[in-house]
Structure 1
Amino acid sequence: MAEGYGACLINKPELVRDMVRHVRNQIDNPRFSVSIKIRIHEDLKRTVDLCQKAEATGVSWITVHGRSVEERHQPVHYDAIKIIKESMSIPIVANGDIKTLKDAENVHHLTGADGVMVARGLLANPAMFAGYEETPLKCIQDWVEIALEHGTPFTCFHHHLMYMMERITSKQEKKVFNVLSSTSAVLDYLNNYYDKQPLINNPDFYHFS
């Protein structure tokens, strides 16, 4: 359930229930998972009701972003996710402001959730769940090789690198890198930059071809 469209659906629990039921009824394989992702209501009882309706019609698990539709950068209501978890028998996945592996562990402890979902934190550091606190050079190299091999559009290629290099470049370096406008310019920048100044104290040193 995408958040833009989900902002409307969250206030229509019967419709969500019917959508889950319809999908579930079309699938013969009971191992096929059906899940939804939601935000919370200010009145948490409404969120619990929505989740219970979805559970009753066969949803496999529910991912809960611990903010209301109106909230953007406010603190995540992990206490609300905990209440939802305690009200359900299916797995609940917690989402919101998880930027490090330690954050993931803390959210699991705070909410009792069965798992965590990470978005921006993994964009900034795809190796987060491997225990890295910042993006290792090998991860950047892998992304470059994958993108070039599969012809990834430049906007996507560059955008992901901007995220990955966010924590390991200075403000001035970001100003240069973020305005690059071609794949060749990005590759030249990476070759020149990592030859001159490795950003992470790591014995592995990578060159981009």
Structure 2
Amino acid sequence: MDKKQKFLGEYIRKNPNSYAALWEIVNDYTLKDYHPAYLKNLNLFSVKFKQNKLYKGVETRLKAEQSTSIGQKIPDIYFDKQNKLTSENFKKYKLTFIDYWSTTCAPCIKSMPEIVKLYNEYKDQNVNFITVTDEQNPNRIETAKNILKKNNATWVNFFDTNKDFQKKVNATSYPLHFIIDENGKIIARISNNIDEVRTIIKEYLQ
């Protein structure tokens, strides 16, 4: 991907108004997740090209994800009037694992037993577990509660009723996993890979 983005950057310098190049960035982001070179390459387009609506939309999405990439602090999230996720939530634990999911996501439901297994492995090692469920409809919320109960997921769950989590971390797919340290810093941002989550938690605690 590094070589691909370098090549694409050279192409944009020669063709600063290329919609094909912009769509190539969008395609890579959609299929391969975030890469820091995306924003660098976006900056190479002409001043005039940067005024179009598509460019601005892509730039906004990428900047939102950059702000919640590895090494950054996760922003405060407000789910509703009673529930929020702030830096205070992370201070009590060495690590916090966040799983972002939806009841319409088959891989999310399939991986839940593995998350429960991971929880049982590390709950006594000062690792906190949180799920953020992307559901707003009362019927879907009830379905989510039943899925969590069926899988013995006894940790804290938030419903992203205001879409605040989705917007602030630029969550574009499920399942999405975050590992946060006690200072609220993002250690890892992982798409659908519990084995990788397990490896990172293990190595960090060691």
Q: Which has the higher contact order (CA 8 A, sep 6+)?
A: 2
Considering fraction of residues, name the structure with more strand: 2
